[in-house]
Each structure stands twice: as C-alpha cells, then as structure tokens.
C-alpha cells in the first residue's frame, strides 16, 4: 500500500496563531486525500475531502475558513488551522485514497494550542 | 444517517484468550466494510476488508471477520490473542451512496492484552 507521512508529528502553538500540517504520499500519486480529526478515546471524524487541483469538500459543521486545505500536487496536501484556539487541540490524521475504496493513513499530527 | 456502532469500548483479555469485537452498521444497502488497527503511537493500518463474496474474511496477523447481512454486523475475531495485539480497533464502512469513498468509523474498541 501507499506510504503516507505527516509533518510535523507534534506542534504546540499559542492561541491566535496559524499552524500548517503537511500530508505527503511518498510512493503513490494521490488524486484524493482525506483529513480527519481524532479526539482522545474517540473515533476519527472526517473533516474534508481534498482533491488535487480543486477545492476541498468539507463535512457539515467544519469551518472551511478556519481549516484551509490545499492539494496542489499529487503528493502533497496541507491543512492550515487558522487562528487556532485551545478547542482546536486534537490529533489530525490524513489519508490517501488508494484503489478499491482502500485508504492509507498517515501517522497523525498532535496539535496543542495553549 | 449512516452510522457504525462498536459495542465494546474497552476489552481486557489474557494472552491466548479468544477475541470477538462487535460492529454493527445502520445502512441497509450494499456496503464495503473494514477493520483498522491503531497500535500505540502508530498510524492506522488495515486489518481486513470485505467487498463481496465469501462473508468470512481473513486478514493479517490471524484476524478474521464475518459479514452477516441479516444482522448488519461485521464482527472481528481472533482465536488466540497475543500481548502484541494490544491496540485500538476501528470498524468502518463505505457505501456506494457515500460519495467519494468516505469512511465512516465506529467509536473504536481499546483492546488490552495482559501477558
């Protein structure tokens, strides 16, 4: 399957600042990537579907102006959390859509907003 | 709305015990079903998947799952667990009407295996 990396693995920032998280598909051309959010002891919640060269599709309740997604190439999608607040602290995970509905997941990025 | 329900939040077993983790989904049509595992500090990995055919699916590391359409279930099983199976297990569903291949995850089951 595809190898997916995320950078950074952990980030701590001050309230009001913006944070960019990168998701890279290392050995697979990813037309579609997904961004998830995982709270402690809870499931993964899909935030948005990122399609290369077009605007991301956001799930209901996810603020597109707060969580900016850019999928400029077949190997890179970025999630920018703008004006982060403590309630945005979470584990953010990306995945790459492989063939036949299979997704390959990155290792996640733990964001802590002070 | 589609949903996936995992009955057990936390399961504690001794090594060599048998495992069964429950998963039920709400969608009535054709679905693709998955079990993912997340070992401590690692990323989600696919254990097994069911799309069609034999409802008993075998995955990696000795895991298997059985699709029972009449019960809307896709329970995960392993005859004899090992300490290294300690992890979080997620059941997930994609339906053909779920545009774009979006995965809907269950709440997850934390498995702790005592050596």
Tens digits of per-residue pLDDT, A26-59?
988 888 999 999 987 778 999 999 988 888 999 9
| A60–chain B Cβ distance below 8 A for any pair | no
State the maximum Cα–Cα separation within chain A, in Å, rounded to a whole number: 41
For an interface test with B, which of A2, A44, A52, A110 has the most B Cβ atoms less than 10 Å from its Cβ?
Answer: A44
Q: Do B36 and A57 touch (CB under 8 A)?
A: no
Q: Do A100 and B102 touch (CB under 8 A)?
A: no
Tens digits of per-residue pLDDT, B18-77?
999 999 998 777 889 999 999 988 889 999 999 989 999 999 999 999 999 999 999 999
State the maximum Cα–Cα separation within chain B, in Å, rounded to a whole number: 44
Residue B115, C-beta contacts closer than 8 angstroms, at least 6 positions apart: B15, B83
Q: Do B43 and A34 touch (CB under 8 A)?
A: no
Point out the residue among B43, B46, B101 whose CB comes nearest to the CB of A97. B101
Residue A77, C-beta contacts closer than 8 angstroms, at least 6 positions apart: A22, A23, A30, A33, A35, A50, A69, A70, A71, A94
pLDDT on residue B46: 92
Task: Residue window 84-113, chain A: list those with CB within 8 Å of chain B.
Answer: 93, 95, 97, 100-108
Between residues A109 and B41, the one the model is more confident about: A109
Alpha-carbon distance of B24 to B34, in angstroms, equals: 12
Question: Closest Cα of chain A to B83: distance in Å?
Answer: 20
Between residues B40 and A11, the one the model is more confident about: A11
Q: Do B103 and A103 touch (CB under 8 A)?
A: yes
Enumerate the H helices of chain B as residue ranges.
Answer: none
Could you tell me which of A6, A33, A4 has the C-alpha nearest to residue A20? A6
Question: Closest Cα of chain B to A57: distance in Å?
Answer: 10
| A43–chain B Cβ distance below 8 A for any pair | yes
Question: Closest Cα of chain B to A113: distance in Å?
Answer: 20
């Amino acid at each position: 399957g595809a190898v997916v990396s995320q950078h950074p693995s952990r980030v701590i920032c001050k309230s009001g600042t913006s944070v960019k998280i990168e998701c890279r598909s290392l050995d697979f051309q990813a037309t579609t990537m997904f961004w998830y959010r995982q709270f402690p002891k809870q499931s993964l919640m899909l935030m948005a579907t990122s399609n290369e060269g077009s605007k991301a599709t956001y799930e209901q309740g996810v603020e597109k102006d707060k969580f900016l997604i850019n999928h400029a190439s077949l190997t890179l999608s970025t999630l920018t959390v703008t004006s982060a607040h403590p309630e945005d602290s979470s584990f953010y995970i990306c995945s790459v859509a492989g063939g036949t509905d299979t997704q390959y997941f990155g290792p996640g990025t733990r964001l802590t907003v002070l | 709305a589609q949903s996936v329900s995992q009955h057990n939040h936390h399961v504690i077993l001794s090594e060599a015990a048998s495992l069964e983790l429950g998963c039920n989904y709400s969608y009535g049509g054709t679905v693709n079903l998955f079990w993912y595992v997340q070992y401590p500090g690692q990323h989600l990995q696919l254990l097994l998947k069911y799309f069609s055919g034999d409802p008993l699916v075998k995955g990696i590391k000795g895991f298997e799952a059985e699709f029972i359409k009449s019960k809307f279930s896709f329970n995960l099983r392993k005859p004899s667990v090992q300490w290294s199976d300690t992890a979080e297990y997620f059941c997930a569903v994609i339906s053909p009407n779920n545009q774009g291949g979006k995965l809907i995850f269950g709440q997850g089951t934390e498995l702790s295996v005592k050596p």
